[in-house]
A and B are shown apart, each in its own frame.
Chain A
Amino acid sequence: MICVFLKKIIIFSVSVCIISVLLFVISKTLYEKYRSTDFSASVIDKYENINSTGEDRIILMGGSNVSFSINSALIEKETKKNVINSASVFNSGYVYQINFLKKFAREKDIIIYIPEFGCYSGKGAYGQEFLYKCIMFEKNVLKVCGLENLRRYFINANRFHIKSIYDILKFRTKVDSELSIDRFSGFNHYGDIIKHLSEKPKLSKIRSFDTVNSLKMSNDFLNLLLETKNYFDLKKINFIVMFPPYSKNFVTENLLNETRDLVSEFDFIQGDLSNNLFEDHFFYDSPYHTLKKAREIRTQNLINILKLN
């Protein structure tokens, strides 16, 4: 009888696997059809940018704050260097970000790395949306995603595929939806998101975020930063870590002190967070996605630091 029992369990498990594969195939087929307009197209663009742009480069990397809140054209004008904004939206996680930089940075590059505060703790996994949108469709992402992300992908596979099918079917009829800002047309050729600049602040969305009380820095993250710094030093690449702009209503004195401590302890961590704190209405849809005015101030602050280097 135990063999009959096991046989049934195996048949059931195989059925679950077959349905999972079917979901993946449907999701991928549907996705390919809308690939050119979906936001992941911007990821392809970023790979093209970093591969094709010549010498004397400044590479901007980090979370979505870098996509939303930096004027690359201004940096290029002021520094006379080629600027590439390689950051992606949807919380790509620090493992991906650092792996990307290690893979594509060249000698004499200047890297400005601006992770969001959420990156300082944890294991650097992708945000769920980034994972399910990109991982199976962008081979380049797969190459640098890291083991933790792969593990999470397999645990979440069915959810990603079901959600992906639902989203694709939904967006097909809503091309100009709110999310279109993250699609291909929302970016300029540097890789900055520009479509939001003239929008009004979404205050209720901004205020739904939690106050950041502490960096809660994980050893994983700190060790990776130190190891990355050494790696880039050997390759003669200038690696600078900065803090994202933030709504002043969402940071505490404790956080400010922690960032100051980091700056005084590690020479490659630079900038004063308090220079990039603004009121809520300077932001678009989160306390670190700036609108035009704060974006200019923040970029100018960044340029000042670059000039000092």
Chain B
Amino acid sequence: MLFNSFEFIVFLPIVFILYWFVFRQRKEQNILLLISSYIFYGWWDWRFLSLILFSTFIDYLIGLKLSEEKNQKKRKYLLWISISVNLGMLGFFKYYNFFIESWIEAWSSMGITMNVSSLKVILPVGISFYTFQTLSYTIDVYKKKLNSTKDFIAFASFVSFFPQLVAGPIERASHLLPQFYVNRRFDYNKAVSGMKLILWGLVKKVVIADSCAISANKIFENYENESGLGLCMGAVYFAFQIYGDFSGYSDIAIGTSRLFGFDLMRNFNYPYFSRDISEFWRKWHISLSAWFRDYLYIPLGGSKGSLKIKIRNVFIIFLVSGFWHGANWTFIFWGGLNALFFLPLILTNKNRTNLDIVASNTLFPSIRELLQMVMTFTITTFAWIFFRSETITDALVYIKRIFNYSSFIPDVIRHKKVLPFLAAFVIIEWFSRSKEYAFVLDKKYRYVFYLLFTFLILYYGSVQEKSSFIYFQF
């Protein structure tokens, strides 16, 4: 089920009413959330519920065993079972064909034909998200940062919690799971802020991302016929498409959770106002960055150790992050590129320079800050070209054509439908950059704005009926 679908508009109020008016006991509410989450997921393909159930059972049982087991060797053994099962599942469904095809290509480049057939494996929606979430539970229990749970319903609800099941934020067990143990009371302010987040998330997705998607898709699919400026605009459109799409999804997920009395972690913090790539990665897909930092980067040694180890760790984390996004060399290249951008900062110990909010005491940024933001946006957008392209060759040709100055023809008319929205969006975000979400309005006129945003969603929502979210494929 998609957040921007008619089905969800019916589904959400039904679950909300049942949750607060019919099933008022904590255990009943957890059961309701579990059933609702399975319906939400099964709406896409009920067969893949078995994978969630399998992953849930494995990590629940391993969690229990880990808390009973005192022998460190056996505990480690249990941890590796969980890691193998979860990553094995992820590897098979997401990466099997990639490895097989890469293997065949590698041999064929040496003139040897391999007759290994690839399988038509369907990628289960959200598998990268919920496997990481269950893994975080087992690792935290192993590290004794979290007590294992005996409440299977609470654990299963935590794994499959529908607002964030298919595209995050990837929650830590230590943050979300305890919320299933306590009684929830309806909190008016929390619910109102949740509704605002849902509305703003839909504006980001339906108005900004989907409008940008139309232009970005046209340009990326016909890049050979585009001018240099057209290709630059294509990359910019994609940068806003992916931001609007994914941060919009996260806002709706966080907002929906608040309606049920839950708090999810923030996933985006105005990343395009970052002054360097390190700040960008602290503000973009925060839940994934934090996951990799805590479970991969720090265990590898982080930024401590020799120069060689520092460089190795930066590359590992970015390459793995790229690979997490999809089974294609373009994602790996995108990760590698970000590692290259990040490396100078880590080597000069400037990776934690910009920790404050940009221009926090002034209305506008200084020239220096503006240049830094433009520079950071440019390099991230440059990397997005690899992320969006079908193959690395496509991306390289795309970039080569950008620098074909003879075809750098201004083509403003074609962009007149999208650019005003983008400009308005950037302005709204800029003036909200110190707030949790860009939707804090003056009390006097807020109702008018809510209506305006609703009609914008209704208007643009019908252009591409049921357009999916980009991160569903990851």
Contacts and interface: CB of A to CB of B under 8 A. Distances in A.
Interface of A: 1-2, 4-5, 9, 12, 15-16, 19-20, 128, 152, 155-156, 158-159, 162
Contact of A159 (B186, B451, B463): B463
A12 B465 CA distance: 23
Greatest chain B CB density within 10 A among A5, A9, A16, A158 is at: A5
A159 B458 contact: yes
Contacts of A156: 462, 465
Contacts of A15: 451
Contacts of A152: 465
Contact of A19 (B6, B455, B461, B463): B455
Given A1-B186, A1-B188, A4-B188, A19 B462 contact: no
A16 B451 contact: yes
Given A12-B450, A158-B455, A2 B20 contact: yes
Interface of B: 6, 20, 186-188, 191-192, 195, 447, 450-451, 454-455, 458-463, 465
A158 B452 CA distance: 12
B459 A155 contact: no
A155 B461 CA distance: 9
B20 A16 contact: no
A281 B318 CA distance: 53
B212 to A, nearest CB: 18
B165 to A, nearest CB: 24
Contacts of B463: 159
Given A16-B454, A19-B451, A162-B459, A155 B186 contact: no
A15 B68 CA distance: 58
A252 B450 CA distance: 50
A250 B447 CA distance: 51
Nearest to A12: B450
Greatest chain A CB density within 10 A among B20, B450, B460, B465 is at: B465
B465 A158 contact: no
B363 to A, nearest CB: 32
Contact of A9 (B6, B195, B459, B460): B195
A155 B465 contact: yes
Given A4-B188, A12-B447, A20-B458, 19 more contacts: A2-B20, A2-B186, A2-B191, A5-B186, A9-B195, A12-B454, A16-B451, A16-B454, A16-B458, A19-B451, A19-B455, A152-B465, A155-B6, A156-B465, A158-B458, A158-B459, A158-B462, A159-B460, A162-B459
A298 B427 CA distance: 56
Contacts of B465: 152, 155-156
A159 B188 contact: no
A158 B460 CA distance: 10
Nearest to A9: B195
A155 B459 CA distance: 10
B451 A5 contact: no
A128 B447 CA distance: 31
Contacts of B186: 1-2, 5
Contacts of A5: 186, 188, 191-192
B467 to A, nearest CB: 13
Nearest to A158: B458
5 contacts: A2-B191, A5-B191, A16-B451, A152-B465, A155-B462
Nearest to A4: B188
Contacts of B451: 12, 15-16, 19
Contacts of B187: 1
A128 B459 CA distance: 13
Nearest to B187: A1
Nearest to A125: B465
Greatest chain A CB density within 10 A among B6, B192, B455, B462 is at: B462
A2 to B, nearest CB: 5
B116 to A, nearest CB: 27
Nearest to A16: B454
A20 B459 CA distance: 11
A20 B192 CA distance: 24
A273 to B, nearest CB: 27
Given A4-B188, A19-B455, A159 B462 contact: yes
Contacts of B191: 2, 5
Contacts of B459: 158-159, 162
Nearest to A152: B465
Contacts of A1: 186-188
Contacts of A162: 455, 459
B462 to A, nearest CB: 4
A178 B331 CA distance: 46
Nearest to B16: A6
A246 B465 CA distance: 29
Nearest to B189: A1
A237 to B, nearest CB: 35
A19 B20 CA distance: 30
Nearest to A15: B451
Nearest to A2: B186
B128 to A, nearest CB: 30
Contacts of A9: 195
Greatest chain B CB density within 10 A among A20, A152, A159, A162 is at: A159
B14 to A, nearest CB: 13
Contacts of B195: 9
A15 B450 CA distance: 11
Q: Can you list the 4 inter-chain pairs with the closest CB atoms, starting with the nearest?
A: A156-B462, A1-B188, A158-B458, A159-B462
Contacts of A12: 447, 450-451, 454
Nearest to B465: A155
A66 to B, nearest CB: 27
B180 to A, nearest CB: 20
B219 to A, nearest CB: 14
Contacts of A158: 455, 458-459, 462
Nearest to A23: B455
A162 B447 CA distance: 20
A112 to B, nearest CB: 32
Nearest to B451: A15
Contacts of A19: 451, 455
Contacts of A159: 458-460, 462-463
A51 B169 CA distance: 60
B75 to A, nearest CB: 45
